């Protein structure tokens, strides 16, 4: 069996997962598509060094900000880690808000014919010319179901959706529905689901805390290492919004306001995604009971 702790950004998943991991004497496996990046700690809300000392965390800091990563690679990495923990008689505990990673791990990835490299090049050029927002709107018109599941500021997945449609004539959502999936693992899925007003306030507060902890200095260090705004890391949610500060087009406060808004928009799409998933337990972070959670995980104990 594996356990997943899922929910929208800012919901409080990490704190709950940490308590569960400590109670079960197990490790946490990351399932967040931004926390895989090295040197990006504050803006991705990674567990603190103190929290990582309490419980072993896996699949954090595994690639550099200029590298690309996808669900296929995640499944391979997660499977190896799950197997490692199972050989140690530990219950693997996954925590994160990247729903596509969880879906791919539990149900597998769909198969489709190889995509012509020329088509990929064409769409990348269109992205450079038109911008991410325009390409996301194009994806929304073609495949609104898939578009709702991803960030409007995620060019990699936006291009993926457009590539598959143009190459096969069917959307990613259609491919998923047409192919048979099987449950690879017996999973106990926990959803952290705060009230929307509380979630949005948490997101706003977290942005201010990130700034106080040194988000701007973290971005400066990434730029000093030679990473650019077009790299997947700096081009991700919570970082790219501050480009205008570094080009002196906006103040930090203005950029932070936009970043918080983008996080709220992303959280809204995540909530929509989770409504369509099945969970064994749905909890609110402001009234969570560890004993109740453990009774669901181990009903006979």
Domain that holds residue 54: 2-108+181-297
For 290-299, the pLDDT digits (tens) are 998 999 998 7
Please count the structural domains in the chain.
2
Q: What is the pTM of this model?
A: 0.81
For 209-221, the pLDDT digits (tens) are 999 999 999 999 9
- Pair (9, 51) in one structural domain: yes
Domain boundary among 178, 199, 221: 178
Q: How many other C-beta atoms can be found within 10 angstroms of the C-beta atom of residue 120?
A: 16
Domain boundary among 153, 178, 203: 178
- Pair (62, 76) in one structural domain: yes
For 135-187, the pLDDT digits (tens) are 999 999 999 999 988 888 889 889 999 999 999 998 988 887 776 556 789 99
Q: Do residues 115 and 85 make contact, with C-beta atoms less than 8 angstroms apart?
A: no
Choose from 70-74, 93-97, 146-150 the range with maximum mean pLDDT.
93-97
Residue 110 confidence (pLDDT) above 70: no
- Pair (82, 22) in one structural domain: yes
- Pair (72, 8) in one structural domain: yes
Residue 43 confidence (pLDDT) above 90: yes
Q: Do residues 235 and 70 make contact, with C-beta atoms less than 8 angstroms apart?
A: no
- Pair (80, 127) in one structural domain: no
- Pair (285, 264) in one structural domain: yes
- Pair (46, 163) in one structural domain: no
Mean pLDDT, to the nearest integer, of 257-264?
98
Domain boundary among 154, 178, 202: 178
Distance CA 17, CA 251 (A): 36
- Pair (200, 272) in one structural domain: yes
- Pair (82, 189) in one structural domain: yes
Q: What's the pLDDT at 92?
A: 98
Q: What's the pLDDT at 82?
A: 98
Write the CATH number for 155.
Answer: 1.10.20.140
- Pair (57, 102) in one structural domain: yes
pLDDT band with cut points at 50, 70 and 90 for residue 109: confident
Give all strands of the β-sheet with 28-30 in edge-to-edge order.
57-58, 28-30, 93-95, 2-6, 187-192, 281-283
């Amino acid at each position: 069996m594996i356990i997943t702790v899922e929910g929208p950004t800012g919901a409080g998943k990490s704190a709950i997962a940490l308590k569960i991991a400590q109670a079960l004497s197990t490790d946490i496996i990351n399932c967040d598509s931004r926390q895989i990046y090295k040197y990006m700690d504050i803006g991705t809300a990674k567990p603190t060094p103190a929290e990582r000392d309490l419980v072993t965390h896996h699949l954090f800091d595994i690639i550099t900000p200029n590298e690309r990563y996808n669900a296929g690679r995640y499944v391979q990495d997660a499977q190896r880690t799950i197997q490692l923990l199972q050989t140690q008689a530990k219950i693997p505990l996954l925590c994160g808000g990247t729903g596509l990673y969880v879906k791919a791990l539990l149900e597998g990835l769909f198969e489709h014919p190889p995509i012509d490299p020329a088509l990929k090049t064409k769409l990348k050029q269109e992205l450079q010319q038109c911008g991410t927002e325009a390409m996301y709107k194009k994806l929304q018109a073609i495949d609104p179901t898939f578009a709702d599941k991803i960030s409007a500021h995620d060019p990699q997945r936006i291009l993926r959706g457009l590539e598959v449609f143009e190459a096969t004539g069917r959307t990613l959502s259609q491919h998923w529905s047409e192919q048979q999936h099987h449950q690879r693992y017996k999973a106990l899925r926990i959803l952290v689901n705060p009230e929307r007003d509380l979630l949005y306030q948490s997101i706003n507060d977290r942005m201010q805390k990130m700034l106080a902890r040194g988000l701007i200095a973290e971005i400066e260090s990434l730029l000093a290492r030679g990473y650019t705004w077009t790299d997947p890391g700096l081009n991700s949610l919570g970082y790219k919004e501050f480009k205008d500060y570094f080009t002196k087009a906006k103040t930090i406060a203005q950029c932070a306001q936009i970043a918080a808004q983008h996080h709220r928009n992303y959280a809204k799409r995540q909530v929509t995604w989770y409504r369509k998933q099945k969970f064994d337990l749905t909890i609110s972070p402001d009234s969570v009971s560890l004993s109740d959670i453990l009774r669901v995980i181990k009903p006979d104990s």
